[in-house]
Amino acid sequence: MRHVQGRARRAGAALAAVLTGAALLAGCTKDPFGPGGTFGDPPAPGDVIHISPDDGGKDVRPDQRLRIEVPDGRLEKVLVVKSQDAQDSAVPGRISTDGQTWQPDDDRLALAAKYTVDVVADDADGRRTARHTTFTTLVPDRRFIAYVTPENRATVGTGVIVSLSFSGEVADRAAVERAVRVSAQPPVEIRPHWFGRSRLDFRPEQYWKPGTEVTVDLNLRDVQGAPGVYGLQDKTFAFTVGRSQVSVVDARRHTMSVRRDGQLLATVPITAGAPQHPTYNGRMVVMDMQDITRMNSHTVGFGGEYDIPDVPHAMKLTNSGTYVHGNYWSPDAPGHVNVSHGCVGLMDVKGGSSDTPAGWFFDRSLVGDVVEVVGSNDRTVAADNGLGGWNMTWKEWKAGSAVK
Question: Is 343 a known active-site residue?
Answer: yes
Distance CA(343)–CA(322), nearest Å, equals: 5
Q: Which of 132, 193, 325, 341 is catalytic?
A: 325
How many CB atoms neighbour CB 383 within 10 A? 21
How many CB atoms neighbour CB 396 within 10 A? 12
DSSP string computed for 136-158: EE---SEEE-EEEES-TT-EE-T
Residue type, 35: P
Check: CB of residue 210 under 8 Å from CB of residue 158. yes
Check: CB of residue 248 under 8 Å from CB of residue 257. yes
Of 126, 104, 118, 110, the residue nearest 40 (C-alpha): 126
Q: Please give the C-alpha separations between residue 324 and each of 136, 290, 363, 380, in angstroms, as whole numbers.
A: 54, 11, 13, 17
Secondary structure letter of residue 375 according to DSSP: S
Element containing residue 351 per DSSP (H, E): none
Secondary structure letter of residue 372 according to DSSP: E
Rounded to 5 degrees, φ, ψ at 203 are -160, 160
Question: Is 28 a known active-site residue?
Answer: no
Distance CA(125)–CA(214), nearest Å, equals: 57
Q: Which of 193, 254, 313, 343 is catalytic?
A: 343
DSSP string computed for 210-221: TT-EEEEEEE-T
Check: CB of residue 130 under 8 Å from CB of residue 19. yes
Distance CA(39)–CA(216), nearest Å, equals: 60
Q: Which residues are catalytic?
A: 325, 343
